[in-house]
Each structure stands twice: as C-alpha cells, then as structure tokens.
Amino acid sequence: MDERVLKWLFDIKIAIDEIDTYFLETPKDFKHYSSNIILKRAVERDLEIIGEAVNRILKLDETFPIKNAKKIIGLSNQIIHAYDNISDENIWAVIQKHIPLLKTEVQALIDKAT
C-alpha cells in the first residue's frame, strides 16, 4: 500500500477516534448533541477531515475499497460548502450508523497494510 494512503487511513482513524472521545464524559444522545454547538462543530470538523482523506485516497486510486467513499466526500463537501443545509439529524445519523462501520473498515485496511 502506498505510504500516503496508509497515512490518510490513519488520519481517518484518528478523526473517528476523536468523535468517539467526545462522548466519553457526556451522554451520547441526540438532544445533548443538538444543543451543544461546540460538540457539533468538533464533529463536523472531524467529518471534513475524514472526507478530505477519502478524497485524497480516491484521487490516487479510484478503485480503493472504501464503501460509500463518494457519499463520505459528498458529506464533507456539504459541511464545507453548503453549511446552511446541514441538519443535526443527518449528522447524528452519520455518527450513529455510518461512523462505526467506517471505523471497522478502516481498521481492517490498516491491519492488512501493516
């Protein structure tokens, strides 16, 4: 595996781990999330990082096996460029449903490469 791709996979893993840490001492529930602007902005920033890392990987290898890669990039672009169309509900669904799957997928790719 290209060293740059491995680095970007680690960037994704670190961003996901950061999202997980935001809920270590606070409740992991939608009401808490939606009422905490600092938490929302932190999660959004990590999602931007994840999207940019996936984008860089795909620019190097369009066939790289990350499920939903285009959707990940699309979400990141939406957060950056269409920030006024982002809903707390959509980001919360990503945190709950998609981030755990991406975490498993990225870890498997890292394990395979190292």
Q: What is the pTM of this model?
A: 0.94
Query: Is residue 87 pLDDT above 90, yes or no?
Result: yes
Residue 90: which pLDDT band, with cuts at 50, 70 and 90? very high
Query: Is residue 75 pLDDT above 90, yes or no?
Result: yes
pLDDT score at 51: 97
10 Å CB burial of residue 107 (0-12, 13-18, 19+) is middle
pLDDT score at 89: 96
pLDDT score at 27: 83
pLDDT score at 94: 96
Task: State how many domains the chain has.
Answer: 1
H/E element holding 87? none
* pLDDT tens digit sequence for 17-74: 999 999 999 889 999 999 999 999 999 999 999 999 999 999 999 999 999 999 999 9
pLDDT score at 84: 87
CA–CA dist 1, 79 (Å, integer): 30
Q: Which domain holds residue 25?
A: 3-113
